[in-house]
Amino acid sequence: MTEFLNLTPPDEALKRLLSHLEVHPVPEEVNTAQALGRVTVSPVLAPHPLPEFRRSTVDGFAVRAADTYGSSESLPAYLNLIGEVCMGQATDLRLGAAQCALIHTGGMLPEGADAVVMVENTQSARENEVEVLRAVAVGENLIKIGEDVKLGEEVIPAGRRLRPAEIGGLMALGFTTVMVARKPRVGILSSGDEVIPPEQQPLSGQVRDVNSFTLAAVVQQVGGEAIHYGIIPDTRAAMLKTARRAHAECDVVVITAGSSVSVRDLTAEIIAELGQPGVLVHGVNIRPGKPTILGVCAGKPVIGLPGNPVSALVNVEMFVAPVVKSLLGEDPARPRAAVNAQLLVNLASESGREEWVPVRLLASSRGWEADPVFGKSNLIFTLARADGLVRVVSDATGLAAGEMVEVVLF
């Protein structure tokens, strides 16, 4: 039986894995309205400036700024009202000296206007006459042509995960479809003679399959397509047959195996048979998740994760998620969402091994507080009760209560 004598630091392990990947995102065109969370495969260039005309940012009166200089409540400027700018239409109004036009938020500025006075800084004097009670500067309360986006400007780079803001921006420029990377197919194999499907009633000594579904959820969350290959018996022939099928059909293969050393050795043997270079990392210096195995076989990443649910879920975030992001063309080093919080209790840690501790976030008058959720790595609700993870670096012996820590959110 192989013991893990040369554990690889997690950052080095991930770097080694990613360095062997061949990243060639496959483009596909999708409707922009359904593109949330997808990753662009090529840059998006603006086909026209945005906005395409000068627009007011307030309700008020379009003016020539010079006509308002020196005006105040005690000494207002008097301007002649020559008309109203209709919304959604081009205007043919043209301002001359001491003239203004009624305009609404988003309305097109008439020729001659170079500022807008807010309606609350005006009052009606006589019919078709407006008193301006505050001076405005050139460009005040308006948006210029191309102030948001210039013609031909790169508005979204390749490798950008589309958020609601990007969806809105694409629509504003008339892009009803967008080219994105095809979702990488991630084959998930769960092994264990004691593991049964969730819909079955466990007999004594049996447990329902947890890992296939938590891993699939993470894969989907980061933009991949999870393909389930079922629960595989702990035999070499069965595992190798299914692993070869998944390797042929998918872009990534993830094997979540039992916790015994013999089963972990079997996973490593399977990875070694799927193609060169094979196993790159056999054991990671991290808790939970030391038995993690990382490999690349014939250009495709193959990852073996521990069978304990907490270990599997922590390490799918650490290693599988960055692989999926990389295959999509996204920068896997892009920081994850995190908050700073004050640690509520002392955290002891084994020096020489990086540790990730689940915590729940509590609101207080001083800000967020991090309350550790202690539990063993085979207890899935240890993570279900947590909001995120706190990292204890390998050269530390723990963290002290009261320290500010970074909580990486799930």
- Give the pLDDT confidence of 251-276 residue by residue, as tens digits: 999 999 754 455 557 888 999 999 99
Using CA atoms, how far apart are residues 69 and 144, in angstroms rounded to an integer?
21
At 208, the pLDDT band (50, 70, 90 cuts) reads confident
CATH superfamily of 55-143: Molybdopterin biosynthesis moea protein, domain 3. (2.170.190.11)
Give the pTM.
0.85
Mean pLDDT of the chain: 91
pLDDT score of 2 more than 80? no
Predicted confidence at residue 259, as pLDDT, reads 44
Domain map (residue ranges) of the chain = 10-26+182-327, 28-50+153-180, 55-143, 338-409
- The CATH fold assigned to 28-50+153-180 is Molybdopterin biosynthesis moea protein, domain 2 (3.90.105)
CATH no. of 338-409 = 2.40.340.10
CATH homologous superfamily of domain 10-26+182-327? MoaB/Mog-like domain (3.40.980.10)
Q: Which residues of 257-294 are buried (b: 16+ CB within 10 A; e: fewer)?
A: bbeeeebbebbbebbbebbeebbbbbbbbbbbbbbbbb
pLDDT tens-digit series, residues 362-393: 999 889 999 998 876 666 777 788 899 999 98
* Percent of the chain topping pLDDT 70: 96
Whether the CB-CB separation of 266 and 239 falls below 8 Å is answered with yes
Report residue 122's pLDDT band, with 50, 70 and 90 as the boundaries: very high
- Which of 378 and 206 is assigned the larger pLDDT? 206
Residue 75 pLDDT: 95
- pLDDT band for 195, please (50, 70, 90 cuts): confident
pLDDT in tens, 163-188: 999 999 999 999 999 999 999 999 99
Q: What is the reported pLDDT for 387?
A: 93
Same topology, domains 10-26+182-327 and 338-409? Answer is no
Residue-level pLDDT at 261: 56
Task: Tell whether the model's pLDDT for residue 284 goes beyond 80.
Answer: yes
Identify the band that residue 288 occupies on the pLDDT scale cut at 50, 70 and 90.
confident
- Per residue in 290-308, pLDDT (tens digit) is 889 999 999 999 999 988 8
pLDDT at 289 over 90: no
pLDDT of 234: 81
